[in-house]
Amino acid sequence: MANSDRSTASGNYASSGSSGSEEYSQISKLEFSEDEAALIARMYNLIGKRWALIAGRIPGRTAEEIEKYWTSRFSTSE
């Protein structure tokens, strides 16, 4: 049943045109595994906002994705 749910979800995005596909891509890229989140937190504590260095430790992630993830989860209003 899980496969049918996935195909339905992807079918909905595919039928909505390229903007829906791009939206799905952005959502999935901002989803980080627990291991990735833990690594980002450890690296941030060690080296700060050096997103490119952090991204270099996580295959398939860009500095921009890491920064967006971090600021969306842990931004402070200073």
Domain boundaries, the chain: 1-31, 34-74
Mean pLDDT by 10 residues, the chain (78 residues): 44 44 52 94 97 96 95 76
Protein fold of 34-74: Arc Repressor Mutant, subunit A (1.10.10)
Q: Whole-prediction pTM value?
A: 0.60
**Long-range pairs for 65-72 at CB < 8 Å and ≥24 separation?**
65/29, 65/30, 66/40, 68/30, 69/30, 69/32, 69/37, 69/40, 70/40, 70/44, 72/30
CB 13 within 8 A of CB 29: no
Query: What pLDDT, on a 0 to 100 scale, did the predictor assign at position 78?
Result: 54
